[in-house]
Amino acid sequence: MNILVTNDDGINSEGLWRLVRELKEIARVTVVTPESERSAIGTAVSLLESVKVQQIKSAIDGVTVYSVDGTPSDCVILALGKLIAEPVDLVISGINNGNNQGEDVYISGTVGGALQGYFRGSSAIAISAPFDSRAGIETAACVIVQLARMITGARLSSRIFLNVNVPDLSTDEISGVKITRLARTSHINTVYDDSRERRGYYNLVRTAVSEAATKGTDMYAREQGFISITPLFTNLFERPPRNFLRSLCDDLFQAIRQDRA
């Protein structure tokens, strides 16, 4: 199995290397990621400038690593179009530090990177978890390995694109796994006028929404201690097989419990 890993938190992200360390046990892993943090950049592509790519020494033996002076989308486009010769079975973006949920996924660099893999014929997963304690990142690493096995082993007739949010809980504390839909939003944007200090300058400020999450959404599932899996679509006629999604929650929950037993 060949897996491409990217992120939007940059090459030195703790979540990236925790993910790669786990995936290395089940697949051939190539890392192509921005050299620095590129959060909230969505699907931006560097069309008007050259992009510098450097192959660097990996912190984990047997993993090929490239650092890119560009966006997560740049990374995946370069990886699939130039840097990786073999077919890629799965594109994984993460582990993102913090949640990517609700309609905010449309500005997420983590989701944007995974989306470019999906556009180019691969199944793709974006995965996020709070790093407030070790619990979330460890559970996310366990979850992604099991998901990778299930998706590549299922021999699906079509690609699948999943946005996964993991609560800051250990595998023993997780309530279960839910297939969800996107919440309306998790943040609001406001404009702060900085022109008194610097003429013509403004700051865009994001504030978390305090209203209660709606049942069935990604936000609600995570707040209730569940792992949220949200199928994302770019084509109304290409959706994950219903029988696969139906069995995915129970199979994944059982697998992560057994893995850490």
Q: What is the pLDDT of residues 80-121, one digit of tens each?
A: 999 999 999 999 999 999 999 998 899 999 999 999 999 999
Gap between the Cα atoms of 72 and 261, Å rounded = 35
- Output the pTM of the full model: 0.92
Query: Which of 98, 131, 168, 101 lies closest to 18 in space, CA to CA?
Result: 131
Gap between the Cα atoms of 58 and 46, Å rounded = 25
**More confident call, 136 vs 213:** 136
Q: What is the pLDDT of residue 237?
A: 55
- Distances from the Cα of 166 to the Cα of 86, 146, 174, 221, angstroms: 31, 14, 9, 10
Q: What is the pLDDT of residues 169-179, one digit of tens each?
A: 999 999 999 99
Domains of the chain: 2-183+213-259 (3.40.1210.10)
Answer yes or no: are the C-beta atoms of 129 and 15 closer than 8 Å.
Answer: yes
